[in-house]
């Protein structure tokens, strides 16, 4: 009986270790998808290393920036984001939007078009500036952080020729597809 218990315990431990190993491999494969980008190399790495804001192995903000604005820790914040339902966080109805043919707007018109979230097109002084575009799902996994209905009516092919593209922060949703 004692041998059977040892054998069963070893089998359970072995199964748990195999599951942990499979999960680890799955996570590694998942985070190495092209949609997550890659570590700079070659000429791009040289530019990064020469940047005056790159010190001690990371880019440094020019001004002190508070990363967590609440008294919750990072883990608690992520846990609440994923599992806690917060009333009023998402609109009950689709955001009202009118799709405009952006290509037909005269280049001398002064225009601001908000696409939702922090994405917009500014047309001023004959120049077109596209800021923080989000033209795909807002997360690397389809079941997390979907854009609000009504803020996803434009696609990249709807955009006129732009003069400047501004990415104000490096969230996945703004960088994907660039």
Q: Write out pLDDT tens, residues 118-151.
A: 888 999 999 999 998 877 666 666 666 666 676 7
Output the CA angle 154-156-162, nearest 5 degrees.
110
Confidence label for 101 from pLDDT (cuts 50, 70 and 90):
very high
pLDDT in tens, 59-73: 888 888 777 667 777
Q: Which residues contact 113 (CB under 8 A, 6 or more apart)?
A: 100, 102, 120, 121
- How far is 103 from 142, CA to CA, in rounded Å? 30
Task: Say whether 48 sits in a helix, a strand or coil.
Answer: helix
Adjacent-strand bridge partners of 121: 113, 130
Adjacent-strand bridge partners of 62: none
- How far is 176 from 178, CA to CA, in rounded Å? 6
pTM, rounded to two decimals: 0.61
Q: Do 48 and 40 contact (CB within 8 A), yes or no?
A: yes
The per-residue pLDDT for 123 is 96
Q: Do 147 and 134 contact (CB within 8 A), yes or no?
A: yes
């Amino acid at each position: 009986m004692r041998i059977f218990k040892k054998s069963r315990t070893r089998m359970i431990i072995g199964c748990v270790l195999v599951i942990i190993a499979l999960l680890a491999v799955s996570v590694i494969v998942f985070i190495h998808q092209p949609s997550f980008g890659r570590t700079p190399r070659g000429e791009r790495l040289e530019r990064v290393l020469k940047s005056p804001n790159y010190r001690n192995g990371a880019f440094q903000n020019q001004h002190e920036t508070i990363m967590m604005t609440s008294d919750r820790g990072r883990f608690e914040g992520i846990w609440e984001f994923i599992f806690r339902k917060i009333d009023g966080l998402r609109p009950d109805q689709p955001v009202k939007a009118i799709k405009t043919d952006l290509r037909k707007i005269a280049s001398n018109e002064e225009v601001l078009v908000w696409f939702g979230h922090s994405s917009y097109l500014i047309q001023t002084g004959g120049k077109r500036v596209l800021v923080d575009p989000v033209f795909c799902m807002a997360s690397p996994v389809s079941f997390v952080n979907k854009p609000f209905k009504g803020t996803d009516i434009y696609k990249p092919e709807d955009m006129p020729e732009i003069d400047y593209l501004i990415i104000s922060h490096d969230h996945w949703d703004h960088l994907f597809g660039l």
